[in-house]
Amino acid sequence: MRTKIFCDIADLSSIKRFNKKIIVKGFTTNPSLMRKAGAKDYESYSKKILKVCKKKPISLEVFADESKSMIKQGEKISTWAKNVYVKVPVINSKNKFSGEVIKKLNNKGIKLNITAVYTSKQTEKILKVINYKTKVIISIFAGRAADTGKNPIPEFTRSIKLAKKFRNVEILWASVREPYNYLQAKQIGCHIITIPPSIIEKIEKFGKSYDQLSIETVKAFLADAKKSKFNI
């Protein structure tokens, strides 16, 4: 199985550029990325993105914290384009499982991306409230888990195993920290990995020999030394 690469970005100019890349199969966004991109109005900015990204799947996240409001936002976001996945956090800020939200939206045929997932137990809870038909992505945050000294791989392998019963479910490696994460995701059979633009550009350069890397490194050091006009 090939692990699909999504681009994790909300900046409009970057989406325009990366939408043209064959390697990029979809996009993910979140409220933090939207804010960083300078979005003032969520709906109008999202629709600008959708004018650029018309075919590839793109995840747009709800930002409410109560179930009723999350459902209402999810229903509205889903109408903006056919390629939209409504992104729903697995819990709200009060640590309440978003099961009601997931179940209602899923049963209405709305494609979902369940985000901020860290454990296979959370994956199991999600799978218990969805059907076997409507597409669902489960985004597990590898990098943030690793930042705390935890190994995310066992949670991924268990989640992937659990999801095998569902043809409509894909496990996504989120919170990428380095290009090597892509190879790790491929190795364990992860369906998707969402990656920031700068790291995608590094992945495109995969295949260089150690000799090439040594030469490039030394040349970079030499160039910086000359620019600094160092002298001993």
Cα–Cα distance for residue pair 19/223, rounded to 1 Å: 34
**Residue closest to 16 by CA, chosen among 37, 1, 35:** 37
Catalytic annotation present for 16: no
Active-site annotation holder among 4, 87, 111, 135: 87
CB-CB neighbours of 189 under 10 Å: 14
Q: What angle do CA 138, 140, 142 make, to 5 degrees?
A: 160
> Bridge-partner residues for 115, per DSSP?
89
SS3 per residue for 178-221: CCHHHHHHHHHCCCEEEECHHHHHHHCCCCCCHHHHHHHHHHHH
Cα–Cα distance for residue pair 156/171, rounded to 1 Å: 8
Secondary element (H or E) of residue 199: helix 197-203
Name the one residue in this structure whose structure tokens are 């384009």.
81
Annotated active-site positions, please? 87
